Structure 1
Amino acid sequence: MAATTKSLFPQSPPLKRAVHFTSPWVSCRPISDSLATLPVSLFTKPQREVAASVAFNPSGNFDDFPIFDDEDDSTKAPPPLPPTEGRFEVVINNDIIQRLDLSPFQSVTGITSPSSAKPKEFLERTIGFTINYTREDPYDPREFSEFPDIRTWFVRLDATYPWLPVLLDWRAGELARYAAMLVPHQMNMKMGVVFNPEALELFVMKKVFIVYSWLKEHDIPKPRLKTKDMARMLGFGIGDELYDLIDGKSPST
């Protein structure tokens, strides 16, 4: 298993986008409030209500993000937000991960197949994950998102339920952590997860297409707004022109 999964996640090229997680999954510090947008005309600058702090490094030099940084206590991260009360809690462990077993997710949520999910209840309660993973080496410093076998489990989960990001417990950082399982990144002691920018853009775009269509299919009110909010959580603003194209309308001029 290990030999197979390691090849799926090669080392990333120079990175320049970082997302701050307010959760024990990733040790990180707060970073810039500035938000970057995708460099195409269909995207707009996100509003300040975005919950995840996102920083953008225009130079694109990975040297700008050293693994260790000296900093004072004023830059320490605030306490993590607690999980949303009453959320669906999916607990996985080494055995479940090694067997690529999705049954814990299915039994907790009741979503036994992609077509069986009814968005309304999950949008209200949200979904979160508890990873009870025992490292072979207790001194292994890697975060969970750096273990190939854990990431492969989430890859399978995402392939089976591609609209899942919109149902996650965003306020507790579940969306950003989920993205870290699927998007190439490196770790930085000060900034936390530093994503490959092009990979993150593609991830967000793919999820926008999937989630927007899925919410519309289930007659969820204001599907554009909900999809925009999801993109904002990862630092991207999306204009109505894109949704007009998806709906088969001529973009407004």
Structure 2
Amino acid sequence: MATIKPPYPLSSPLKQNISPPPQTPLVSCKSISESLACFSISYLSRQRGQVAASVAFNPSGNFDLSLYDEEDESEKVQPPMPPKEGRYEVVIDNDSIRLLDLAPFHSATGITSPLSAEPKEFLERTIGFTINYTREDEHDPRELSEFPEIRLWFLRLDATYPWLPVLLDWRAGELARYTAMLVPHQMSMRMGVVFNPEALELFIMKKVFIVYSWLKKHNVPKPRLKTKDMARMLGFGIGDELFDLIDDHSLDQS
């Protein structure tokens, strides 16, 4: 199998702390291999057209988080909620990862092609992942999102089903972990995973375009609200002006 190198080295959380450069927005969450316990975003005051970024958010939904431990006087962030009962569970292992085999996803969900998915049932039950990955070195300290072969499997999955994030079990941390597989980041002992902020923003905006159009195509009620909720889970607020532009210049997706 070809070696896939990340855009820049991913540091082990046991090797070094990563201090953010001055006035650089950072995205922080903890323990991505355990379905992230937190997901917060801090932005300098800025506007990009009609799309506004919120200051902070975490999937637990109970309070905003400080990026810096010494500034955070709140109680500890609660872990994500347990997996939703009855959700579709996709189990992948070393073999499926090595072969870039999406069969575990197909068999677990019944989705065998991008056109075969009807979103309403999946929005209700949601989808989650169990990653049974055996490390070659049992003492390897890397998180699952630091293994290039695992990220490559998720990249293929996302390329095949680009609307998938809206169907995931958000409150159990699946959307955050899925994002960690696709967005460049580094590891920090204090902050956990630190995302490249520009890459995260581009990822979110692309998913907004895809998901909103896909939900509308399948006549899902309140597609704007569902798309906004997805973006908000990743720390971004989306204004109606963006959806108005999409509607005014819609594309044929057939």
Band the TM-score falls in, shorter-chain normalisation: 0.7 to 0.9
Deviation at residue 188 of structure 1 after TM alignment: 1.9
Q: Deviations over 1:148-196 (max 9, x none)?
A: 0000000000000000000000000100100000000011223222100
- C-alpha change, 1:24 and 1:36, in structure 2 (3 Å) is farther
- Partner of residue 61, structure 1: none
Contact preservation (8 Å) 2:231, 2:237: yes
CA distance in 2, matches of 1:184, 1:33: 15
Q: 1 CA distance for matches of 2:110 and 2:194?
A: 34
How far off is 1:49 after superposition? 7.7
Q: Is the 8 A contact 2:84 2:126 kept in 1?
A: yes
Secondary structure of the residue aligned to 2:34 is: coil
Q: 2:29 aligns with which of 14, 20, 28?
A: 20
Question: Structure 2 vs 1, CA of residues 74 and 42 (structure 1 numbering), >3 Å: closer, same or farther?
Answer: closer
Structure 1 residue 21: Cα displacement = 5.2
Q: CA deviation at 1:111?
A: 0.3
2:176 alignment partner in structure 1: 176
8 Å contact from structure 2 (residues 36, 176) kept in 1: no
Q: Which residue of 1 aligns with 2:4?
A: 5
Letter in 2 for 1:152: L
1:123: which partner in 2? 123
Cα distance between partner residues in 1 of 2:116 and 2:39: 39
C-alpha displacement of 1:56:
8.4
CA distance in 1, matches of 2:242, 2:92: 37
- TM-score scaled by length of structure 2: 0.81
| Corresponding residue SS for 2:108 | helix
Q: 8 Å contact 1:35–1:236 — kept in the other structure?
A: no
In structure 2, the residue matched to 1:195 is: 195
Would the aligned equivalents of 1:114 and 1:161 in 2 still touch at CA under 8 Å? yes
Mapped partners of 1:233, 1:145: distance in 2: 19
Contact 2:29 2:194 in 1 (8 A): no
Q: Deviations over 1:51-75 (max 9, x none)?
A: 3677687xxxxxxx8xxx8999976
Partner of 2:59 in structure 1? 51
CA distance in 1, matches of 2:31, 2:139: 23
SS in structure 1 of the partner of residue 194 of structure 2: strand
Unaligned 5+ runs, structure 1: 58-64
Would you say 1:80 and 2:80 are equivalent positions? yes
Q: Which residue of 2 aligns with 1:40?
A: 48
Q: Secondary structure at the match of 1:178?
A: helix
Matched residue pairs, number? 236
2 CA distance for matches of 1:49 and 1:194? 15
Displacement of 1:232: 0.4
Give the 3 Å change call, closer, same or farther, for CA 78–45 of structure 1 in structure 2.
same
How many Å apart are 1:20 and its aligned residue? 2.8
CA RMSD of the aligned region, Å?
3.3
- Assess, with a 3 A threshold, how the Cα gap between structure 1 residues 31 and 173 changes in structure 2: closer, same or farther: closer
| 3-state SS of 2:186 partner | strand
Structure 2 match to 1:60:
none
TM-score normalised by L of structure 1: 0.81
Matched AA of 1:92: I
Write out aligned runs for 1:43-192 (5 A): 43-44=51-52, 46=54, 51=59, 76-192=76-192
